[in-house]
Chains A and B, each alone.
Chain A
């Protein structure tokens, strides 16, 4: 292994953090599937998959332990999953049910410390700093066992949680992954090296295949190698940024993950129930997605300037339009950029159009493309003025939508970005704009009282029947209040 023996200017020879482990990570593993098994006893002990809407092209967003043990993975398509486990029971997601369990879990966690952070809808962190001398004098392992028992008592006996305890969030999360399901482990300075010795690089949260390959190039093949690498090596040769310094500290038990994240984008996507290029089929669903994005924007009290429309196009049944017209993929990338720049665009717009091979770095999108065997297309536009009404979002998104290659669409998504705090109290000089904003506010008020999407555009009628509310399986919990309004 290549090691940098020079004196490290930033961290010197930073040792392992000797502090008592006071961070507890709580993880409801296989949360949605386990909650469904709790609710429906006949599903217990059976391979269960949860999806947003059952269709031929749907994928598993959560799998029960029984399903996982058979090889079913999250993100796997239904047909592939059924090949592995023919008796897999697929069930549609039920957001209010998960929200209730989330609230129960929050309440239990907050009864131990005011410093609780929910990392997503099925996992959270309790920071016991400042509480150990007063209300939490017992060993944290005892408190962890008590939390497990309270979850069983307050939610249901089938519920299983993993508890991990560590001096920082990373080690607490690592500890919670050691014995699934229903584990309780602690990692601190006394056993850190032993734990690392038992793990692979990809067992570490945040290290996937891509980073593993980077680490391998400098001779780091195990977590212990990773721990022994200098911060210079990590910063200059592996991560090429301060992320290397973060890893240097994180691996030793120092906290670097307690910062808050900034809201970067808000979007919705939908796997089409019918793969088609027919506008009359796609547009109602697309319009509905736009209205959902609008509700999320307003829920977050932000206005957007940027909008992105992306699609995964079905290229499985025919030679693609792009291939046929533009030859190789490399040529296609350049031709697409040329095409984009040749369009007569308004002066205040910036547009990009690209296939996945060119610049897409979003792993989940890459995965979606691979699983669907399709081709990724996107177009984005940054406006000078902000927008937040459903009509504004749809109008802007529709403009991009109409630029798409004429191929059957498998998945479609709309994302807004470039946020600023909302400026809705300010009346516009233009009456038309004011009317549109007042209409949006009125519709939101009606929907808040009588149920979300009680009033919506006529064009979205078909979409409302088909598109189900997405579960933010891997994201934050911030939309749950919005989800709850939808019955």
Chain B
């Protein structure tokens, strides 16, 4: 697992219907001048940093897994870590 902890740009979809767990879907992000397209939302869960609400998104691009955090107060996206899908 690689720790990143960097602010990133994210394109997010807000769906009107579908599974309750996937009504918000970060579709793609830009990181190190690369665009990564997400194919699956593994899990989204809220947590707190003091009284600040943080939404944690565990995303996958089909190969690697990415942990993103959305700060609901500052309205920022941060890429926390990347888990390589390489099984070796």
Chain A residues in the interface with B (C-beta under 8 A): 35, 38-43, 46, 87, 91, 96-97, 99-101, 153-156, 449-451, 454, 484-485, 487
Contact = CB atoms under 8 A, between A and B. Distances in A.
Given A39-B43, A87-B87, A155-B43, A487 B19 contact: no
B50 A97 contact: no
A270 to B, nearest CB: 23
A487 B49 contact: yes
27 contacts: A38-B43, A39-B42, A39-B43, A39-B65, A40-B58, A42-B60, A42-B65, A42-B84, A42-B85, A43-B83, A96-B46, A96-B47, A96-B56, A97-B56, A99-B45, A100-B46, A153-B20, A154-B20, A154-B21, A155-B43, A156-B21, A450-B50, A454-B50, A484-B48, A487-B48, A487-B49, A487-B54
A31 to B, nearest CB: 13
A40 B60 contact: yes
Given A450-B50, A450-B51, A484-B47, A40 B83 contact: yes
Nearest to A37: B42
A463 B49 CA distance: 20
A42 B54 CA distance: 24
Contact of A41 (B19, B42, B50): B42
A42 B83 contact: yes
A46 B46 CA distance: 26
B65 A97 contact: no
Most buried by A among B40, B42, B50: B42
Given A40-B65, A42-B65, A156-B21, 4 more contacts: A41-B65, A42-B83, A156-B42, A487-B49
B13 interface: no
B63 A42 contact: yes
Contacts of B60: 40-42
Most buried by B among A35, A41, A46, A454: A41
A38 B65 CA distance: 11
A485 B40 contact: no
A96 B19 CA distance: 21
Contacts of B6: none
A96 B44 CA distance: 11
B48 A449 contact: no
Interface in B1-31: 1, 19-21
A38 B42 contact: yes
Contacts of A40: 42, 58, 60, 65, 83
Nearest to B20: A154
Given A40-B83, A153-B20, A96 B65 contact: no
Contacts of A87: 87
Contacts of A449: 50-51
A40 B40 CA distance: 10
Interface string B47-84: 11111001010101001110000000000000000011
B81 to A, nearest CB: 10
Interface range on chain B (Cβ under 8 Å from partner): 20 to 34
Nearest to B54: A487
Contacts of B45: 96-97, 99-101
B19 to A, nearest CB: 5
Contacts of A41: 40, 42, 60, 65
Nearest to B44: A100
B57 to A, nearest CB: 9
A73 to B, nearest CB: 23
Contacts of A99: 45
Nearest to B41: A156
Contacts of B49: 451, 487
B60 to A, nearest CB: 4
Most buried by B among A40, A91, A156: A40
Contacts of A39: 42-43, 58, 65
Contacts of A38: 42-43
A35 B47 CA distance: 16
B4 to A, nearest CB: 15
Given A40-B83, A42-B65, A156-B43, A451 B48 contact: yes
A97 B21 CA distance: 13
A36 B58 CA distance: 10
A40 B66 CA distance: 8
Contact of B43 (A97, A450, A451): A97
Contacts of A97: 43, 45, 47, 56
Contacts of B87: 42, 46, 87
Contacts of B83: 40, 42-43
Contacts of B58: 39-40
B56 to A, nearest CB: 7
A484 B56 CA distance: 13
A42 B82 CA distance: 11
B46 A153 contact: no
Contacts of A91: 1
A100 B58 CA distance: 13
A454 B54 CA distance: 17
